[in-house]
Structure 1
Amino acid sequence: MMEMSMPMSPPGSTNMTPGWPNMHHMTMHMNFYWGKDVLILFQGWPKDNLGMYILALAFVFFLSAAIEVLSIPHAVKPGSSPMIGLLIQVTVYAVRMALAYLVMLSVMSYNLGIFIVAVAGHGVGFLLVKIRALAAAAAANQAGPDPKV
């Protein structure tokens, strides 16, 4: 397995910052690998704890699914202010992009489990979006033709 040692401070310097562990022994994987020993998003999480690794997998899965669910354009209600509708759309878009960056950073850990749950989360989120769209289309078809036409 190819690993690259990444010193966190310049050669010859000492890491004397209070509260910070000695970071000279961290390794960064340059290829996909299996295992629960991974660092995702935050220092020390999930570390080498299996329960926390499973929680991290679930977290990435739900983040990925949320990205897809938030990709549905939300219609602005008739009669509401266009500016408020725009602000809501911008806020939802910003949240969606923040979640997408978190998933991207998680996948950059090169842990195969994280990659698989990220892809699965996107797939499940897309499925939920399509099921909702199909249900709305079926409801519109059952309502019959528009009497105004």
Structure 2
Amino acid sequence: MAPIASNKAALLALRCPRCHEGKIFTSRALSFNFADMPEVCPVCGQPPEPEPGFYYGAMFVSYAFSVAIFAVTAAALYFLFGDPEIWVYVVVVGLTAMLFTPLSVRYSRMLMLYLFGGVDYQPNWVRYEPRTRRTAPAPTPSEV
């Protein structure tokens, strides 16, 4: 697979900021573990979490996404359905927010990683080879 040339396109495709090839999330968005990330990029070996607690800042970005989802949904209900009763707002806005939660979490993390992660695109990166665990040789009878 060829790397994505643009940072914006790689961010939207949820790819590694260093190689633009490796997937940042290990599972699909519509699964229960939608926020799971690998320890390192499977293609270039770049860790997706630059430091412990790095993604606490993504909560603020996710909050902004949620406010935008609430506002757009409420405005659509008001203008398209002629200001329905309050319970309709609560149900529809709540369901819409739950539906978009996986995307909100994923893209808030990606924005944090691309803007504040300190990793730039390197088109000439060296392919990552995972380390294999070396086992000590079995002791010989004379060593026992």
TM-score norm. by structure 1 comes to 0.25
Q: Which has the higher strand share?
A: 1
Q: Which has the higher helix share?
A: 1
